[in-house]
A and B are shown apart, each in its own frame.
Chain A
Amino acid sequence: MTKRTEFFTGLKDVLPILLGVAPTGMIYGASAIGASITPVMTQAMSSIVFAGAAQFVTVQLIAAAIPAGIIILTAGVLNLRHALYSASLAPYLKRLNLFWQLVLAYVLTDEAYALAIIHYRQDGESRHRHWYFLGAGVGLWATWQMCTALGILLGTHIPASWSLDFTLPLTFIALVIPALKQRADALAAVVAGVVALLAVRLPLNSGLLVATCIGIVTGMVMEARRRKRFIAHDIQKEETQP
């Protein structure tokens, strides 16, 4: 594929996800205004931070007059998962110059990661897949800025009864389920979900981190067992053959 095709395919593929991201952006804008954050600061956060979940949490903490240090720490912990997204994409981004790495790192959100990693893992020889990533990232970024602005303007006119904030978990469900390819993935997810529920009262939102660690360990144990079974099965086959 050419650079152009990659870019526009990225934009096209991100459209369904924008259905979930757009209302979330509006709700973020509206809730920030509702927490007495200025319009300028609300809009600025969407480009300075550009991370939906962290922005929501930050708004709530600001409204509760939590000290700045704790807010920064909580947001940092919440965004640690991006390090793992970054690391898992790194092999594919090795060849790119620093400028590309700087730009792509900026647009690295959950949704952009989900699309990019699937696209990179496809078979084939395309050397321009970073343009796909850019296309998806630009689509997400532009939508996020516009919807934040809309949320700021519409503010209280968006009825809470519409429950538009539910589109965020729905978008994540749509991203996670197709990614559960083996039993190890599914079990890791189930364990992470259960632990997240149990650990919800831990301070500084660290419940998320705890659930992540335990989920990953579960997945790795399952995967190790699966490998042992395969090897045992292979040995058995060899022994029964004449």
Chain B
Amino acid sequence: MMLWFTLLAIGAITYAIRLSCITFFSRVDIPSTVLSILRFVPVVVLTAIIVPQLFLVNNVVTLSPENPRWIAGIIATIVAWRTHNVLLTIAVGMVALWILQIVLRYL
């Protein structure tokens, strides 16, 4: 029961967050300082989510062969930079990870 309440609360809060600015800022113009902040938000937030997932194992930065994800991530970054192609980036990134995992298992 408590679990359902938790889920509904998270859902309600998430929806409220998503809706709040859309309805609020449709009535009020956004000040230019706020606009310059907003410009950086998606890039900054997504990077802050990605980077720990690439470099951390159990909350510790791990560059050893136990963790090939950061290398696969760099390869994917290069592909994304050169091609701007979402499909290619994901495909190459996954293949790179698999190859690295196989190679490192047999080293």
Contacts and interface: CB of A to CB of B under 8 A. Distances in A.
B38 A88 contact: yes
Contacts of A89: 22
A81 B30 CA distance: 17
Interface stretch (A16-24, A141-149, A229-237): A16-24
A168 interface: yes
B77 A177 contact: yes
Contact of B47 (A79, A86, A184, A192): A192
Contacts of B44: 188-189, 192, 211-212, 215-216, 219
Interface in A86-114: 86-91, 93-94, 96, 98, 101-102, 104-106, 108, 110, 113-114
A113 B20 CA distance: 15
Contact of B48 (A54, A113, A215): A215
A33 interface: no
Contacts of A174: 76, 80, 85-86, 89-90
A201 B10 contact: no
| Consensus secondary structure, chain B interface | helix
Contacts, number: 252
A153 interface: no
A93 B101 contact: no
Given A16-B87, A86-B20, A188-B40, A169 B50 contact: yes
A89 B30 CA distance: 11
Nearest to A61: B6
Nearest to B36: A220
Contacts of A216: 37, 40-41, 44
B10 to A, nearest CB: 4
Interface in A38-57: 41, 44-45, 48-51, 53-54
Interface string A69-93: 0011001100111111111111101
A180 B21 CA distance: 24
Interface string A199-234: 011000001100110011001100100000000000
Contact of B69 (A53, A90, A166, A179): A166
B48 A212 contact: yes
Contacts of B46: 110, 172, 175-176
A76 B14 CA distance: 7
Contacts of B54: 169
11 contacts: A16-B86, A62-B3, A84-B42, A101-B26, A108-B18, A163-B98, A173-B89, A180-B43, A196-B47, A197-B56, A207-B52
> What 6 pairs across the A-B complex have the smallest Cβ distances?
A90-B25, A215-B44, A193-B51, A86-B21, A48-B11, A87-B21
